[in-house]
Amino acid sequence: MGAIDKVSLGVTGDSPDQMAELARSAEAGGIHRVWVIELFRNAFTQATYLSTETSSVQLGTGIAWGFVRSPMSIAMSAMDIDEISGGRFTLGLGPGVKRLIETWHGVEYGRPAPHMRETIEAVREIIRAAATFEPARYEGEYEDVDIRGWTRGTAPVRAEIPIFTAAVQEGMSRMAGDVADGLIGHPLCSARWIEEKIIPAFELGLSRSGRNRSDFTFLPSICVAIDDDYERGLDAARRTVAFYSTVKTYMPLYELHGFGENAAQAAAAFRKGDIEGVAAAIPDEMVECYCAVGTPDQVREKVGEVADLADEIFPGAPNYFIPPEQIAEYNERIIEVFGKGSA
């Protein structure tokens, strides 16, 4: 079984009912795992809700911001959702963007890879302690947990809940290989970026932590617009590329392929409030470099280039600056094309 046989889908919607409908459609269509994001809604409340609206599909937070909650809060949420879902939950964590973490939440960002490592280790320790009814102790630079005199009452469904972390560059990828059960890639990480930067980094982490490659799940993402009208799909994907071009963190991804100046122009337009100018800064070849656009066959071929490097695959619909109904259309096309027998 290859990565193309274990397909993930991001669940979004204008309402909880729309999200539940999409999750049920994904489940009926044979999608392996559904993920909820954290930006406009809380990742844990979304995952809890969807766990009650589905019965068999795997589900996870993809991703929840790891630094804005205590390890205790994260661990309790993970154990609760895993229990409610019957052991179907994967805890996906990421550092988020420094400015948002510090200004929106008022918490320390620090050095993201070491900070995330400690968060994962502390959460694991709390879940382990809950399963064995023992105290939990973890001491690090960012996390200092000392839990005594507390028991959960009932043991968690699983003493080890899978923890994936998001990664874009080498540092976080190495950390994922060190301590995480899997790595969720960013949708604009090209096959070349994955081969040259991400895989060598997490393999180094695995080797220095004494783990086998089979102990780790690599789940790269790719922006997908399945549309018989190629120009329409290209324009939709362009807007997602444009959105991420405004974030300085992702500049190395663009520079690798010679698109650094285009990303800089998009960012300048964004700062001026010129949304159309943001998209206009992104040429067709830049969209085609990072995204899979076109007919089902065209998209399968492009997605296959990334899937060949992976254990599972996460094709995601364009999500920015296009109408909600178009996002919903592209999500349903992903289920039709990549699912294993839609009901």
Q: What is residue 249's predicted lDDT score, i.e. its pLDDT? A: 86
Structure tokens at 186: 């960013």
The per-residue pLDDT for range 139-197, each reduced to its tens digit, is: 999 999 999 999 888 899 999 999 999 999 999 999 999 999 999 999 999 999 999 99
DSSP string computed for 62-120: S-EETTSS-HHHHHHHHHHHHHHHTS-EEEEEE---HHHHHHHS-----SHHHHHHHHH
Q: What is the mean pLDDT of residues 96-111?
A: 94
How confident is residue 1, by pLDDT bands cut at 50, 70 and 90? low
What is the average per-residue pLDDT within 269-283?
A: 91
Q: Which tens digit of pLDDT belongs to each residue from 53-98?
A: 999 999 999 999 999 999 999 999 999 999 999 999 999 999 998 9
Task: Name the pLDDT band for 343 (thresholds 50, 70, 90).
Answer: very low
Domain ranges of the chain: 176-219
Share of the chain above pLDDT 90, in %: 92
Burial of 30 (0-12, 13-18, 19+ CB in 10 A): middle
Dig out the tokens for 229 from the structure: 């009208």
| pLDDT mean over 262-273 | 93
Per-residue pLDDT at 24: 98
Note the pLDDT of residue 247: 87
Which pLDDT tens digit goes with each residue over 196-247?
999 999 999 999 999 999 999 999 999 999 999 999 999 999 999 999 998 8
112-132 and 170-179 helices cross at what angle (nearest 10)?
20
The pLDDT score that the predictor gives to residue 2 is 85
Task: Provide the whole-model pTM.
Answer: 0.95
State the maximum Cα–Cα separation within the chain, in Å, rounded to a whole number. 62
Instruction: Give the pLDDT of residue 340.
Output: 85
Per-residue pLDDT, averaged over 262-288, amounts to 94
